[in-house]
Structure 1
Amino acid sequence: MRKLIPGADDAPALGLVQVAPRIRVLALRTPTLPPAAHTNVYLVGPSQGPVAVVDPGSPYPDQQAILDTILAELPISRVLLTHHHGDHVGGAAALAAHRGVPIAAHPATARRLDDIIEVTELIEDGDEIDGTIAVHTPGHAEGHLCFEIDDASIAGDMVAGVGTILIDPSEGDMALYLASLERMRARTPTTLLPAHGPPIRDGHAKLTEYLAHRRMREQRVLDALVAAGAGATTDVLLSVVYADTPRMLWPLAERSLLAHLAKLVHEDHARYDAAGGRWSR
C-alpha cells in the first residue's frame, strides 16, 4: 500500500515505453491507493520476445485487452509477481490462462495467494530467471521480490515514483523493510523501476532518502514515548508523531505508527500495556 501525498499526481506515459535495456513498461489502471491510479506492467526480454510479464495487476477487462493487444505478436515465457497485493496480481491468472504460461513468485507470495491464484513456479532469493536476478526484499510484504537486470531493478512496492510506501503491521514488518532498503542500496543497480510512477534514476539517493525518513519518524516515536512518561494511547502518539501530516491521512499514518511501535517493542525499546491500551518506554 502507498500513502496519499497531497499534490502528487499519477500521469503515466501512454503505451509501451522503453525504460532500460531489455525492459519496457506499460501503465494499466488498477484499484490501487491514491494518488496512484495505475500499476506498471514490465516486459522483460528482447523486443521480439520472448518476454516475462511482471505484475499484470489490472482486473479490468478493458485494461487487460490493452495488454493482450500489445502482447499479441510476442511470445511470453511466464508471469512474474513481485508480491501478492491485488493491484499487482489482478490480471495474472487471466493472462497466464490465455497464453498458457506459468506464474512464478516467492513461496511466501504463493502461500498468500493460495485458493486465489495458482503460482506454478517458485522463486527463491538469488535465482536467475528470464535474464533477471531475483532479490528477496521482505518488509512491505513477506514474499516481496525485486528483479535486477544490469543497472536496473524492477522494485515493486519497495519504493514509489508517486506517493510513498505504507508498511501495514497486519502483513508487513518495519524492521525487515528497513533491512531490505539497506540491502538494495548496497547492490549494483542504480535505476529503480517502481510499480507506481516513473523510473527513479538515482536509486541510491532515493533509498537513502527513504531510510532517513523512516529513521526520523522512528525517533519521533521514541521522543513521544519519553515525553509521555507513564504512557500514551495510540491516538495521542499519532497526534504528536504525525503532527506534520494532514488529518485526512491519519488513518493510514496510524498503520505506519503501529508498524514502528511493533518494531520498537520487538527491540525492547517500547512496551505496550494491553489492559490500559497505553504505550511507554
Structure 2
Amino acid sequence: MGESPVEALYEQVRAAVPVAADHAPPTLLQVFPGIRVLALRTPTLPPAAHTNVYLVGPDAGPVAVVDPGSPYRDQQTVLDEVIGGVGISRVLLTHHHGDHVGGAAALAERWQVPIAAHPRTAERLAGVVEVTQLLEDGEVAFSWQAGGATCVFTPGHADGHLCFEIGGATIAGDMVAGLGTILIDPSEGDMALYLESLERLRARPQSMILPAHGPPIPDGHAKLTEYLVHRRMREQRVLDAVPTGGGSAMIDDLVATAYSDTPRVLWPLAERSLRAHLVKLLREGRVRETLGRWSR
C-alpha cells in the first residue's frame, strides 16, 4: 500500500506551513481517571505536530495504548520506557491514518500484544499493519476492575473511525481537534457521515473530549456544536458559490469564493473539503456536475 491521498496532502501542507521545532521531551500526563496521555511527534497536519497517545487502564497496568502514531524511533523509545513501568495488554486504533498508526506495528511486535480496530480500518491497513482483533460499535474494547473502554462507531473522517468512551471521557481520534482542523477528504471520508457522527456524539451523555491533537476539551457538547455550526456554515458558503441561472464554475473558482476567508496557502486543503461538501450536495440533488463544471 502506497502513500494515501490524505497523507500526500498532509505532506504538501507541511511543506507550505512549516511548524516550529519542539524539542521538549514528551511528558506523561493524567487527563482523566484511568487515562494518561503522551503527545508524540508525528507527520500530521499543521499546525499540529504531535498525536496524543492515550494509555487507558489502572495506574499499575496493564494498559491499552490508543493510537501509537509516531514512526520516529526516538518517540517510540519514550513510549516504550513508559510502558515498561506498567505493561501493555493491547493496541487500540481509532482509524487508519499514518499519524495514528505509524508506531503500532512496531509496538505490538516488541510487546507481543494484539492490535484492535474496526473491520474497515483493518481493510485499509492490510499489508501495512496487521489488525488481529476486530471491534464493532458498542463493544467493550478493554476493561479493568474500575472501568472499561466502549467503542462508538463514528465514520466520516475515515470509514472505520472509532471513538472510545471511558466513563465521562471520550477518546475522540479525529472527530474534533484541540489544535488545528479536521480534514474530510472524499477519497477516504464522507461529509454526510461525518456530520451524522458529530450529531451522534452530541446526543450521547456529556463528556470530556480527548482529541488526537491538542489539549483535552472539557465541554465536549459545546465543541461538537461548534463543529456542526462551522460545517453547516461552510456548506452554505459552498452552495452559495455554485452558480445558478445557467452559469457554472470550476473547482478552483469555487474554492476562491467559498474559502475566501482562508489563507491561499491552505487552499489545496480547502479544495478537498470543498469536494467533500459537493459530493454531499450532489447526492442530495442540490447541485449538478457536468464535465467538471458545477451548477445549480
TM-score, length of structure 1 as denominator length: 0.94
Match of 1:28 in 2: 40
Match of 2:145 in 1: none
For residues 97 and 73 of structure 1, the distance between their equivalents in structure 2, rounded to whole angstroms, comes to 18
Aligned CA distance change for structure 1 residues 215 and 228 (closer, same or farther; 3 Å): farther
* Match 1:129 to one of 141, 152, 162: 141
Match of 1:221 in 2: 238
Higher relative contact order (CA 8 A, sep 6+): 1
* Match 2:66 to one of 46, 54, 76: 54
Alignment of 1:278 with 2:293, yes or no, is: yes
* Match 2:189 to one of 165, 169, 172: 172
Alignment of 1:111 with 2:128, yes or no, is: no
TM-score, length of structure 2 as denominator length: 0.90
What residue ranges of structure 1 are gaps of 5+ in the alignment? none
Query: Runs ≥4 in structure 1, deviation > 6 angstroms?
Result: 1-4, 8-13
Aligned CA distance change for structure 1 residues 268 and 101 (closer, same or farther; 3 Å): same
CA contact (8 A) 1:13 1:27 kept: no
For residues 126 and 256 of structure 2, the distance between their equivalents in structure 1, rounded to whole angstroms, comes to 38
CA contact (8 A) 1:158 1:181 kept: yes
CA contact (8 A) 1:9 1:35 kept: no
Q: SS in structure 2 opposite 1:110?
A: helix
For residues 21 and 154 of structure 2, the distance between their equivalents in structure 1, rounded to whole angstroms, comes to 25
Match of 1:99 in 2: 111
Q: Deviations over 1:190-238 (max 9, x none)?
A: 2100000000111111110100001001111111224574211111111
| Amino acid paired to 1:107 | P
Q: SS in structure 2 opposite 1:216?
A: helix
Q: Deviations over 1:105-129 (max 9, x none)?
A: 0000000000101000000000012
Q: Please report how far the alpha carbon of residue 14 of structure 1 lies from its aligned counterpart in structure 2 after TM superposition.
A: 3.9
Alignment of 1:185 with 2:202, yes or no, is: yes
Q: Deviations over 1:54-94 (max 9, x none)?
A: 00001111100000001112121100000000010011011
For residues 129 and 91 of structure 1, the distance between their equivalents in structure 2, rounded to whole angstroms, comes to 20
Match of 2:87 in 1: 75
Aligned CA distance change for structure 1 residues 201 and 68 (closer, same or farther; 3 Å): same
RMSD: 2.0
Aligned CA distance change for structure 1 residues 22 and 50 (closer, same or farther; 3 Å): same
| Amino acid paired to 1:22 | G
* Match 2:167 to one of 150, 173, 179: 150
CA contact (8 A) 2:244 2:295 kept: no
For residues 183 and 21 of structure 2, the distance between their equivalents in structure 1, rounded to whole angstroms, comes to 17
Aligned CA distance change for structure 1 residues 61 and 9 (closer, same or farther; 3 Å): closer
| Amino acid paired to 2:38 | L
For residues 160 and 60 of structure 2, the distance between their equivalents in structure 1, rounded to whole angstroms, comes to 31
For residues 9 and 135 of structure 1, the distance between their equivalents in structure 2, rounded to whole angstroms, comes to 35
CA contact (8 A) 2:243 2:294 kept: no
Q: SS in structure 1 opposite 2:242?
A: helix
| Amino acid paired to 1:128 | V
User: Which residues of 2 match residues 237-276 of structure 1 at below 5 A?
Assistant: 237-274=254-291
Q: SS in structure 2 opposite 1:165?
A: coil
For residues 229 and 251 of structure 1, the distance between their equivalents in structure 2, rounded to whole angstroms, comes to 27
Percent of aligned pairs with the same amino acid: 69
CA contact (8 A) 1:148 1:189 kept: no
